[in-house]
Amino acid sequence: MDTIASLFSFITTPVSWIIVQFHKVYGAIFGDDSGWAWGLSIVSLVVLIRICLIPLFVKQIKSTRNMQVLQPKMKAIQERYKNDKQRQSEEMMKLYKETGTNPLSSCLPILAQSPFFFALYHVLSSIASGKKIGAIDQQLLDSAREAHIFGAPLAAKFMDSAAKVESLNASLTDVRVVTALMIVLMSASQFFTQRQLMTKNVDLTVKTPYMQQQKMLMYIFPVIFAVMGVNFPVGVLVYWLTTNVWTMGQQMYVINQNPTPGSKAQDAYLQRVLKRVESSGQVRGRTQRRTVKAIVAKGPDRNDIERKFITGLSKLGLVAQEDGTVKKGEVVPEGEGSAHKRQQPKRQTKAKRQTTGHTPASSSAKGESAADSKTSLEKRDASQDDKPTSAGKSASGSSRQAKSGQRKGPQRPKHPSKK
């Protein structure tokens, strides 16, 4: 660790100078030799570094989400060009360029603060060894060696021998209890941050190997920090615990204000926005308007959670606009939408259609045929009474009538018994 820290010796002077400036402020409150003055100086150094790294953190969030979306396409490229590694790499780089994704962006915050971490380790190691370094002169060196946090010197380690701890005017028990407690808190904060990211801020509709990798890291990182923590000075543990707490708080803010689309956090966030719109009748805040604007711009590509939000607005009589605001629109309550539409006749079954369609016609036809037959009989009887004819004429007339009543075309042969 000392060898790695020496590689970042070029930044030890700026780091030590920042610590000294913060120590002047806190020393005036708690005393120059107080552990709180030196401890808060380290905490303030972390806060200053993390504020400077916020733009990189934003890039990390965007890159992580883009990588989650690109996982299916990346897997397809790997399957397609599994025998051609060069073509596979070219297609991957082309995909990154088209989508504007940088795979290294997710590692930028860690890489950016690594020099400060090792520079602080180098400073504290020099204090433990009684060597002046950077902006820390002999007077400040003696003050830092006397500083204790809960009985543990800033430069003491969990693995230090009893003799070395005694040279720092402390007991081995105090040092190991304090360092063990800080290592546990450091690992627990790392685990909680990663678990919070996996359970609340991940799109559950996309199942990719990336999620499995993150799940593995959730358990691996705390173990790594626990193993490495026994070799860190107390001051470095203060630094790392502070940066983990900052990361956890920063992640909670992102989950609550800018969640990943399709995640549980997005569902909770949009429900909160919907309640605020219901109470005030408008979308308040630039962040909320930007979220509504993005949902409107998606159109048919919205996920189920976003469709649920748009439906909730329509139930309130509101319609989301392209600029992220909402306006009053027509409301169609559930169960009453058909009342405003034209009433369509019910479709009848085949039996009912036949009954309603043919029964009246057949009955009327039967009535008409009965009336016609009755009229014809009356006319025939009247003609027979008025004009009596001979038998021959009647026979010939009946034969002609029979012939005229016969069916045209080939006749059916009579039965032999009737011949």
Q: Kindly report, residue by residue over 42-71, the tens digit of the pLDDT.
A: 999 889 988 988 888 777 777 776 776 676
69 versus 385: the higher-pLDDT residue is 69
406 versus 182: the higher-pLDDT residue is 182
Task: Check whether residue 316 and residue 180 sit in a common domain.
Answer: no
Domain boundary among 297, 316, 332: 332
CA distance 126 to 299: 60
CA distance 236 to 46: 11
pLDDT reported for residue 92: 83
The domain total for the chain is 2
pLDDT reported for residue 21: 93
89 versus 113: the higher-pLDDT residue is 89
pLDDT reported for residue 69: 66
Task: Check whether residue 226 and residue 209 sit in a common domain.
Answer: yes
Query: Looking at the predicted structure, is the pLDDT value of residue 312 above 50?
Result: yes
One-letter identity of residue 167: S
Task: Check whether residue 163 and residue 249 sit in a common domain.
Answer: yes
Task: Check whether residue 201 and residue 323 sit in a common domain.
Answer: no
Task: Check whether residue 293 and residue 194 sit in a common domain.
Answer: no
Q: Is residue 156 part of a domain?
A: yes
Q: Kindly report, residue by residue over 279-297, the tens digit of the pLDDT.
A: 888 888 888 888 898 889 8
Confidence of residue 40 (pLDDT cuts 50, 70, 90): very high
Task: Look over the chain and give the mean of its residue pLDDT values, rounded to a whole number.
Answer: 76
Task: Check whether residue 68 and residue 206 sit in a common domain.
Answer: yes
pLDDT reported for residue 183: 93
Structural domain boundaries, residue 270: 264-332
78 versus 275: the higher-pLDDT residue is 275
pLDDT reported for residue 402: 46
Q: Is residue 344 part of a domain?
A: no
